[in-house]
Chain A
Amino acid sequence: MTPFTQLRAIAAPIPLANVDTDMLAPAAFLKTVSRQGLGRALFHAARFNASGAERPEFPLNREPWRHARILVSLENFGCGSSREHAPWALLDFGIRCVIAVSFADIFYSNCCKNGILPIALERQVVDQLLVDAADAKTAELAIDLQQQTITRSNGEIVPFVIDSQRRARLLSGADDISETLAHSAAIASYEERVRADTPWLATTPLLAWRDA
């Protein structure tokens, strides 16, 4: 995963609550077997008309927001399905940071796994950033994950909170799986204990199935 340290970029306003994963990555785009190339899926119904042409009124179709690398939105961003296609679509479009009032849990964790920084802020602060983002002159924000700050175009600094573990992983771009594999002994001894204490959980007869 690409580490996230600092980002200075255009923020695009998406002043909606409950932006769901079907908006971020509609079902029609889920038939891919790859992580790449989902940028066109992002907000597809809102960005393109039925014949595939851009809808000029949608922010991501306008200058300078078509180069946005930050989104600003409202409550419960990323609600709905667990599809990681939603962060993949954001990433492929170029978005590395989403600022919102709140996030759906699975989406939040999917973002962190893909080097996208989710920042949750009070509604009042978000409303201010939405105003910034809506004006091309103030739409550029500078984000510093090390310092946990957002710097507005007028120089004002907005602090944000993210838990220390997630921050550390985003900063280093760590591979979770290799870190976990370092705990293999603990995993094996746990499995040993399950075999003794709750054997019904320890295995299944599935390998004896002959369906394939």
Chain B
Amino acid sequence: MSARTLYDKVWDAHAIADLGGGEWLLYIDRHFLYEVTSPQAFEGLRAAGRKVRRPDLTLAVADHNVPTENRGGGLAAIRDSDSRTQVATLERNAAEFGLPYAALTSARHGIVHVIGPEQGLTLPGATIVCGDSHTSTHGAFGALAFGIGTSEAEHVLATQTLIQKRSKTMLIRIDGELGLGVSAKDIILHIIGVIGAGGGNGHVIEYAGSAIDALDMAGRMTICNMSIEAGARAGMIAPDEKAFAWLEGRPCAPRGSAFDRAKAHWRELRSDAGAVYDRVVEIDAAQIAPMVTWGTSPEAVTTISGVTPDPEAESDPARRARVASMLRYMGLAPGQPLSGLPVDVVFIGSCTNSRIEDLRAAAAVAKGRRVAEKVRALVVPGSAAVKAQGEQEGLDLVFRDAGFEWRDAGCSMCLGLNPDRLAPGERCASTSNRNFEGRQGPGGRTHLVSPAMAAAAAIAGRLVDVRSFLA
């Protein structure tokens, strides 16, 4: 057999029927559901009198709509009635169709892309889907994981399969050593800046190279998480001993000799020498600086020492108009330096950057310092387990002493579906993944940054180079 990529291997192992015209029936090993994109899928099942084929491979959790305070109050503590209805609908659907459900007050609760790996549901070589584009996160373990629509979610519920075409493949190699204060978030923002918000369209990206090998699993998840912001269907990283060690002992991972058998299999999950990709991009890690977005697309990004672009320098009229409208929305002038820009809010959280490693990186900057006056700073752990771990390590105290709020797990200010949101015109340094207009609340202005950069912005009260805190 000819040399295959990691993607080819996982695809081949799951493609069960050729439907013609390049379409295949792909078997799905794990299906995650949450309250926003699932109600209509269940409605469809009910209307057709269909059952869920494999409840044991399915997990439901409410994360987008949930307030991040007073979690103990459960469903009743959700004040917004539409949000409460959505969460209640998920609970009811899970009960009606016999699906596992991570309740709001459960120790297993959290953002779906944080708890999947945490519970050991995410495994190398698995196919994983969820009605959420950041499902790409799970590819950090060598899974093929991608976001689907609600109709597709209904299809998976009913058949445990999806109709799919094989994607093109892109290899992004990042070799070399990251500089001080530069993190996985900066790598992926840099990549999106290089290939563009649509650069990955039609592709599954495999990340490789010594800089990826050197990352911990949280960093790898951050990178795969934002593959979709480059338009890619999925991001994948070949699993290594670090990934296996991370998974061992997780509640739903295999145990004992079963784990050893799995591990032997997982070691084969890497691209063969000579495997051919449709596109290869090479990046020198040493060239990457702390990044910050200036516009309303993740590709509108530069380094913290950079300045905003000048629309007049764009030759294409559509691009010129777009740059001008982004600057207008963001309240920025052409050629304006990003460093020094005052922020109103700092958000440390989301499925991109809310794992314990992210919180540690932010805490290292916050420790012994104070959040600037008038800045509202939130730390929102990605799961109840991350929150508990943080408290065990005393991170909650570090943050609280510095003037950050320490919240319960959820999507929080990543998107304006719950009480945590920006007011119109507010400027936010955010560790989330999307800076679209109104994403964090109507009229809100988002600058995407790493956890350490966000913490530094909170302390300084303005966007600032985190390296000046670390020297």
Interface residues of chain A, those whose CB is within 8 Å of chain B, are: 15-18, 20, 22-23, 26-28, 30-35, 45, 74-76, 79-85, 87, 102-106, 109-110, 113-114, 163-165, 168, 176-177, 180-181, 183-184, 186-187, 190-191, 194, 198-201, 203-207, 209, 211-212
Contacts and interface: CB of A to CB of B under 8 A. Distances in A.
Contacts of A16: 318, 321-322
B425 to A, nearest CB: 12
Per CB-CB distance, the 7 closest pairs between chain A and chain B, nearest first, are A76-B198, A31-B82, A33-B39, A82-B147, A206-B100, A165-B21, A113-B151
Find the residue from B56, B123, B149, B154 having the highest chain A CB count within 10 A. B149
Given A81-B133, A207-B55, A207-B56, A212 B103 contact: yes
A105 B126 contact: no
B160 interface: yes
Interface stretch (B207-215, B246-254, B356-364): B246-254
B56 A27 contact: no
Interface in B412-449: 415-417, 434, 436-439, 442
Contacts of B125: 198, 201
Given A74-B318, A163-B21, A106 B27 contact: no
B56 A206 contact: yes
Contacts of B98: 207
Interface residues of B, number: 96
Given A181-B159, A187-B16, A205 B252 contact: yes
A79 B48 CA distance: 31
A66 B106 CA distance: 48
A211 B16 contact: no
B319 A17 contact: yes
Interface stretch (B84-92, B342-350, B386-394): B84-92
B154 A35 contact: no
Interface in B32-58: 36-37, 39-40, 43, 48, 50, 53, 55-58
Contact of B103 (A75, A198, A211): A211
B7 to A, nearest CB: 14
B202 A207 contact: no
B354 interface: no
B397 interface: no
Contacts of A204: 30, 56-57, 121, 252
B56 A186 contact: no
B149 A84 contact: yes
Interface string B243-266: 000000001111000110010010
B231 A79 contact: yes
27 contacts: A17-B318, A17-B322, A20-B297, A22-B436, A23-B437, A26-B442, A28-B417, A34-B40, A45-B442, A81-B132, A81-B434, A82-B147, A104-B231, A105-B202, A106-B148, A106-B149, A163-B22, A177-B50, A177-B159, A180-B155, A180-B159, A181-B159, A186-B17, A201-B126, A203-B56, A204-B30, A207-B56
Contacts of A35: 40, 43, 150
Contacts of B417: 27-28, 30-31
A159 B56 CA distance: 47
B148 A82 contact: yes
Given A76-B231, A109-B152, A205-B252, A200 B123 contact: yes
Nearest to B94: A212
